[in-house]
């Protein structure tokens, strides 16, 4: 019998054996050593700075820790989303109010700047000569003026409005003066909380039904109607809850007493100036992002849709904009982060956000490191949340091969 030898065994015996010894000439080993050295150096630097800071604070008899958050604040705050008494409440509650004030500006600013920026960006591509030129001038002018200067301009303009006694009166319900915009305010009751809860449940139901309808469309090619469910869950269901609980609806109107108004709601000049400045400034950048995203869609998409007889509005909203989102979303994330971080400029016009209240806190308590650390943690958390959501949405709308 003739025996045959497997060629793979011969190649395995003749192949040079790999050395198990780690050598500096190995690029992989060298990269690992360099990375470990850099991390160790960074850890050493951080430890040295922390140790040196702790020693200096101990020598100057400066207390450390977050215990100051539970001490009575005594900081007067004009903008109070939640109840607050400076003679009773703590620094921690004051900082929470500052956080809520920051979120109030950032969330509404993101929504309004997106809407305004999209309209201006689309307007720049309009075939109407006047609209195209006006939006172009808007973008070029706003982007060249520093945002802080714009905030000061708006704040000064609002401060020059008439006083409360000479306020601009609209139907004895709305009063515009240098103290802000006074408007009727609904008296919130328990029934309104239940109505709000019903609306939130309706949103969850609409989301679930929309996903089920999409799956049905994938299976059969026919998508069930969604709008009756939306109408029922978001309008009829909360209205029934509100009506069943007595349908309370009481408005508190502002009234002039002495030199100021009492009652009703108030939108302060500081908040208005900050929101206007940030929205107008950021919308100019968003407009360019939207314009470039639309222009990134091949021209053939416009021509094919036009050949089908679709109107320009339908083509833009149903064909072009959905495709341009894949180009728009990544740079739009940066603008959302910018508008959030620019809220810290509120201290320049007297709006009490997280930065303003934290500065007052550290001036009164001497806890500078803790105060700055809290502000950094707040902005880091907000920024990471925005980035995670936008990255999730960007992956959701990404093109996938099937």
- pLDDT tens digits, 205-217: 988 888 888 888 8
| Cα–Cα distance, 263 to 256 (Å, whole number) | 9
| Cα–Cα distance, 151 to 282 (Å, whole number) | 12
Place of tokens 């806190």: 361
Q: Are 109 and 282 in contact (CB under 8 A)?
A: yes
What is the structure's pLDDT at 1? Answer: 46
What is the structure's pLDDT at 104? Answer: 93
What is the structure's pLDDT at 382? Answer: 93
340-349 burial, b for 16+ CB within 10 Å, e for fewer? bebbebbbeb
| Cα–Cα distance, 347 to 273 (Å, whole number) | 12
Other C-beta atoms lying within 10 Å of the C-beta of residue 194: 15
Q: Residue 235 has which token pair?
A: 């309008």
Cα 400 to chain centroid distance, Å, stands at 28
| Cα–Cα distance, 115 to 254 (Å, whole number) | 31
| Cα–Cα distance, 199 to 173 (Å, whole number) | 28
Helix, coil or strand: residue 13: helix
| Cα–Cα distance, 239 to 182 (Å, whole number) | 28
Q: Residue 45 has which token pair?
A: 């630097």
What phi-psi label fits residue 365: left (phi over 0), alpha (psi between -120 and 50 degrees) or beta? alpha
What is the structure's pLDDT at 6? Answer: 57
Q: Are 286 and 207 in contact (CB under 8 A)?
A: no
Q: Which of 79, 171, 119, 59 is nearest to 284 (CA)?
A: 119
Q: State pTM to two decimals.
A: 0.80
CATH no. for 91-154+267-396: 1.10.3720.10
Helix, coil or strand: residue 386: helix
Cα 196 to chain centroid distance, Å, stands at 22
**Euclidean distance between the first and the last CA atom of the chain, given in angstroms as a whole number:** 55
Q: Are 349 and 101 in contact (CB under 8 A)?
A: no
What is the structure's pLDDT at 165? Answer: 86
Query: Half-sphere exposure of residue 168, counting CA atoms within 13 Å on the CB side?
Result: 10
| Cα–Cα distance, 43 to 32 (Å, whole number) | 17
Q: Are 363 and 68 in contact (CB under 8 A)?
A: no
Whole-Å CA distances, 16 to 10, 13, 27: 12, 8, 20
What is the structure's pLDDT at 107? Answer: 94
Helix, coil or strand: residue 262: strand
Q: Which of 386, 393, 397, 313 is nearest to 102 (CA)?
A: 386
Other C-beta atoms lying within 10 Å of the C-beta of residue 210: 15
**Ranges in the chain, pLDDT < 50:** 1-2, 19-20, 401
Q: Where are the alpha helices (DSSP H) in 126-268?
A: 129-144, 147-159, 190-220, 227-231, 237-244
């Amino acid at each position: 019998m003739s025996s045959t030898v497997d060629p793979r065994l011969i190649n395995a015996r003749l192949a040079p054996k790999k050395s198990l010894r780690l050598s500096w000439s190995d690029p992989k080993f060298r990269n690992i050593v360099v990375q470990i050295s850099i991390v160790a150096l960074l850890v050493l630097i951080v430890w040295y700075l922390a140790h040196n800071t702790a020693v200096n604070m101990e020598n100057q008899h400066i207390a450390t820790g977050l215990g100051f958050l539970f001490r009575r604040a005594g900081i007067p705050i004009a903008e109070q989303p939640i109840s607050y008494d400076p003679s009773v409440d703590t620094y921690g509650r004051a900082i929470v109010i500052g956080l809520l004030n920051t979120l109030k500006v950032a969330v509404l600013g993101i929504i309004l700047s997106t809407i305004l920026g999209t309209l201006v960006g689309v307007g720049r591509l309009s075939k109407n000569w006047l609209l195209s030129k006006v939006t172009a001038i808007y973008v070029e002018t706003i982007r060249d003026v520093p945002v802080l200067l714009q905030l000061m301009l708006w704040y000064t303009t609002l401060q020059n409005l008439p006083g409360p006694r000479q306020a601009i009166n609209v139907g004895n319900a709305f009063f515009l003066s240098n103290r802000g915009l006074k408007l009727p305010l609904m008296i919130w009751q328990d029934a309104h909380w239940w109505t709000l809860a019903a609306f939130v449940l309706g949103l969850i139901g609409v989301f679930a039904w929309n996903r089920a309808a999409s799956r049905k469309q994938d299976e059969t090619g026919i998508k069930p109607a969604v709008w009756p469910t939306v109408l029922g869950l978001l309008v009829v269901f909360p209205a029934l809850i509100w009506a069943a609980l007595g349908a309370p609806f009481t408005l508190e109107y502002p009234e002039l007493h002495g030199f100021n108004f009492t009652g009703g709601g108030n939108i302060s000049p500081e908040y208005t100036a900050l929101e206007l400045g940030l929205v107008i400034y950021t919308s100019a950048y968003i407009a360019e992002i939207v314009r470039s995203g639309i222009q990134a869609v091949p021209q053939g998409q416009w021509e094919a849709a036009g050949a089908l007889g679709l109107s320009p509005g339908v083509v833009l909203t149903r064909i072009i904009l959905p495709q341009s989102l894949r180009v728009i979303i990544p740079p739009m994330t940066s603008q959302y982060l910018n508008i959030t971080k620019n809220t810290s400029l509120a201290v320049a016009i007297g709006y009490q956000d997280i930065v303003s209240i934290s500065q007052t806190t550290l001036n009164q308590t001497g806890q500078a490191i803790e105060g700055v650390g809290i502000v950094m943690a707040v902005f880091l958390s907000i920024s990471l949340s925005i980035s995670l959501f936008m990255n999730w949405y960007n992956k959701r709308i990404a093109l996938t091969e099937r």
